[in-house]
Amino acid sequence: MPDETLFFDEAKILVQAGNGGNGCMSFRREKFVPHGGPDGGHGGHGGNVILAVSPHLNTLLSLRKHPHKKAERGGHGQGSNKQGKTAPDLVIPVPRGTVVRDADTGEMLADLVQPDARAVVARGGRGGRGNSAFVSSTNQTPRFAEKGEPGEARTLSLELKLLADVGIIGLPNAGKSTFLAAVTAAKPKIANYPFTTLTPNLGVAIVDNQDLVLADIPGLIEGAHAGAGLGDRFLRHTERTRVLIHLLDGALADPLAAFELINRELAEYNPQLAAKPQIVALNKMDLPDAQAQWARVQKGLRRQNIPAFAISAATGQGVRELLRAAAEQLRELPADAPSVVEDELPVIRPAEDENAFAISREGHAFRVRGIKVERVIAMTNFEQPEAIQRLHRILQGMGVTAALEHAGVREDDKVRIGEVELEWRE
Ligand SMILES: Nc1nc2c(ncn2[C@@H]2O[C@H](COP(=O)(O)OP(=O)(O)OP(=O)(O)O)[C@@H](O)[C@H]2O)c(=O)[nH]1
Ligand SMILES: [Mg+2]
């Protein structure tokens, strides 16, 4: 098995939202007016990174090939109060059924189930304010401006759990892909050896004016629940199908044993999977071997109260009846409650208190960590003395200064916040 083709349904990607544009420091220049008022414009907002369901995608292959995704930064503010331009969002298409987790914490961030589902996975930074925003009664000519806020960055692990009404399962070579090709416009690869299908194929069949989405799942083998033949990945796709068509290979010596084997794998992987409604069909009925098996298979299944069909996916014999039975079974099931309610864009934010901070020692230096304090530092332009004065006022207001003093900071000690190292002055 060429292993590159095996993992299209998982991807790890790095998303980086755009930084906000810097605010501008500028003063109005007018004839005969020596010092005009401040007119530095604000920076534009950085682009968000958004995952959006696309009906044209079936796998995560394109993301595996291009795992680094970066949105643009906002435009910088300019004089004459000109605001920087807002950067466009970076919209990444993903297949329907993509489950998004934070790769570092494992926390589930979004389950993109609806056909138009979207999620903001990294928020662009706010634009820095221009100096015109900092005019106050004590400072009519502020000589500083904020830098843009850094955009969020995170590593995501994506996992595709296909969404289909009907999952077609069975041993390798049972004829699952042949069946899908017979009832839909899908053109899966078909061949007379096991593991021809390595990633699920989707197709849409129309039965009595009802759309039926079918997923042809790669063949399952003994030990699949524990990962044999990558079976656990394939079983995962069946979790979100609502009805199973279980195909038995009529050319086998004992199709009923194959039926039991697959059912054991379903149950060991997830008992709810084994409880899903199944419609069973003996395939390859055009072959004399299969015809000879039919009576015994039918009897064995009837004993368990399981409806059995006899089909030939190759000639089309019995396939419409099988499909209709699946459609009927679906109609009898209660409608699934949507697994996520998405009436607005879910924005994923850290759950922590933004104002909280913590102080620790790093050798002889002090380290201050916290969302807001690190953001303020990143937005300070250290080339502007007034910006540094303002930073000190903010740190005082937040209680960072007092906390550092309490922790024993002395003259000339180093204090690290974000990527900046400050020297302590009384
Ligand atoms: N005679 C006969 N052959 C069939 C029938 N259905 C499928 N086959 C053949 O059986 C072989 C396997 O068919 P596939 O559709 O590739 O089987 P699969 O279940 O998708 O196999 P995997 O993808 O390996 O799990 C191919 O050579 C098909 O031509 C049938 O109804 N009659
Ligand atoms: Mg196949």
Classify residue 337: in a domain, yes or no. Answer: no
CA–CA separation, 173 and 255 (whole Å): 12
- pTM, to two decimals: 0.69
Helix 231-238 with 255-269: angle, nearest 10 deg: 80
* More confidently predicted of 211 and 147: 147
Are 11 and 147 contained in the same domain? yes
Please write the tens of the pLDDT for every residue from 314-331.
999 999 999 999 999 988
Give me the DSSP letters along 246-307: EEEETTSS-HHHHHHHHHHHHHHH-HHHHTS-EEEEEE-TTSHHHHHHHHHHHHHHHHTT--
Helices 255-269, 288-303: inter-axial angle, 10-degree rounding: 50
Angle at 144 (CA atoms; ends 380, 20), nearest 5 degrees: 50
Q: How remote is the CA of residue 311 from the centroid of ligand 1, in Å?
A: 12
- Nearest Cα residue to 46 out of 110, 128, 165: 128
Output 337 or 250, whichever has higher pLDDT: 250
Q: Collect all residues with Cβ–Cβ distance below 8 Å to 39 and sequence separation of at least 6.
A: 26, 27, 28, 79, 80, 81, 130, 132
102 has which bridge partners? 156
pLDDT digits (tens, 9 = 90+) for 273-320: 998 999 999 999 999 999 999 999 999 999 999 889 999 999 999 999
Average confidence (pLDDT) over 113-119 = 88
The verdict on 49 and 25 lying in the same domain is yes
268 Cβ below 6 A of ligand 1? no
Same domain, 142 and 235: no
The structure tokens listed for 11 are: 């991807």
Q: Domain for residue 130, yes or no?
A: yes
* 136 and 181 inside one domain: no
Pocket test for ligand 1, best of 183, 190, 293 (most atoms within 8 A of CB): 190
**In ligand 1, which atom is closest to the CA atom of 181?**
15
Calpha distance 385→391 (Å, rounded): 10
Domain edge (last residue) among 91, 126, 160: 160
Q: Is the CB of 173 under 6 A from ligand 1?
A: yes
Sign of CA dihedral 336, 337, 343, 348: negative
What's the domain count of the chain?
3
**Which CATH number fits the domain that encloses residue 370?**
3.30.300.350
Both 181 and 325 in one domain: the answer is yes
Helix (H, G, I), strand (E, B) or coil at 177: helix
- Look at residues 164, 319, 313, 159 and name the one whose alpha carbon lies nearest to residue 243: 164
CA angle, 167 as apex, 254 and 67 as ends, to 5°? 120
Q: Is the minimum distance from the CB of 97 to ligand 1 under 6 angstroms?
A: no
Same domain, 35 and 110: yes
Which atom of ligand 1 lies closest to the CA of 287? 1
* pLDDT one-digit tens code per residue, 215-259: 999 999 999 999 888 888 889 888 888 899 999 999 999 999 999
Residues 186 and 149 in one domain: no
Is any atom of ligand 1 closer than 6 Å to the C-beta of 218? yes
Nearest by Cα to 394 from 50, 134, 80, 21 = 134
Burial group, residue 360, by CB count within 10 angstroms (0-12, 13-18, 19+) = exposed
330's enclosing H/E stretch is: helix 319-332
CA of 289 to the centre of ligand 1 (A): 15
Q: Is residue 19 part of a domain?
A: yes
Q: Are 200 and 217 in contact (CB under 8 A)?
A: yes
Based on the fold, state whether residues 318 and 200 are members of the same structural domain: yes
Tell me, yes or no, whether 339 lies in a domain.
Answer: no
Q: What is the pLDDT of residues 46-80, one digit of tens each?
A: 999 999 999 888 788 888 888 999 999 999 999 99
User: Which of these three, 101, 130, 160, is where a domain ends?
Assistant: 160
Q: What is the CATH number of the domain that holds 83?
A: 2.70.210.12
The last residue of one of the domains, among 317, 332, 347, is: 332
Q: Which helix (H) or strand (E) holds 236?
A: helix 231-238
pLDDT at 119 over 80: yes
Written as six digits, the tokens of 20 are: 């906000």
Would you place residue 350 in the very low, low, confident or very high pLDDT band (cuts 50, 70, 90)? low
What whole-number distance in Å separates Cα of residue 266 and Cα of residue 232?
A: 10
286 CB near ligand 1 (under 6 Å): yes
Q: In this structure, are 81 and 104 located in the same domain?
A: yes
What is the extent of the structural domain holding 253?
A: 166-332
Asked if residue 349 belongs to a domain, the reply is no
Say if CB 151 and CB 123 are below 8 A apart. Answer: yes
Give yes or no for a contact between 248 and 322, defined as CB atoms under 8 angstroms apart: no
Q: Return the H-helix or E-strand segment holding 420.
A: strand 420-423
Whether 131 and 186 share a structural domain: no
Q: Are 231 and 3 in contact (CB under 8 A)?
A: no
Task: Give a yes or no: residue 55 inside a domain.
Answer: yes
Do 171 and 319 fall into the same domain? yes
* Alpha carbon distance 332, 329 (integer Å): 5
Instruction: Give 8's pLDDT tier (boundaries 50, 70, 90).
Output: low
Q: What is the CATH number of the domain that holds 241?
A: 3.40.50.300
Domain shared by 184 and 318, yes or no: yes
pLDDT at 337 over 70: no
> Is the separation of the CB atoms in 164 and 241 below 8 Å?
yes
Which residue's alpha carbon is at the smallest distance from atom 16 of ligand 1?
190
341 within some domain: no
The alpha carbon of 284 and the centre of ligand 1 are apart by a number of angstroms equal to 8
Q: Outline where DSSP puts E strands in 147-283.
A: 153-160, 166-169, 201-207, 210-216, 243-249, 278-283
Structure confidence at residue 33 as a pLDDT band (50, 70, 90):
low
**In ligand 1, which atom is closest to the CA atom of 283?**
31
Residue 230 is encoded by which pair of tokens? 């990558």
Is residue 402 in a domain? Answer: yes
What is the pLDDT of the chain when averaged over all its residues? 89
Residues 6+ apart with CB under 8 A from 253: none
Token output for 2 = 């060429």
The residue-averaged pLDDT of 138-164 equals 91
Specify burial of residue 159 (Cβ count, 10 A radius: 0-12, 13-18, 19+).
Answer: middle
Q: How many CA atoms are closer than 13 Å to the CA of 145, on its beta-carbon side?
A: 27
| Residue 352, φ and ψ in degrees, nearest 5 | -70, 160
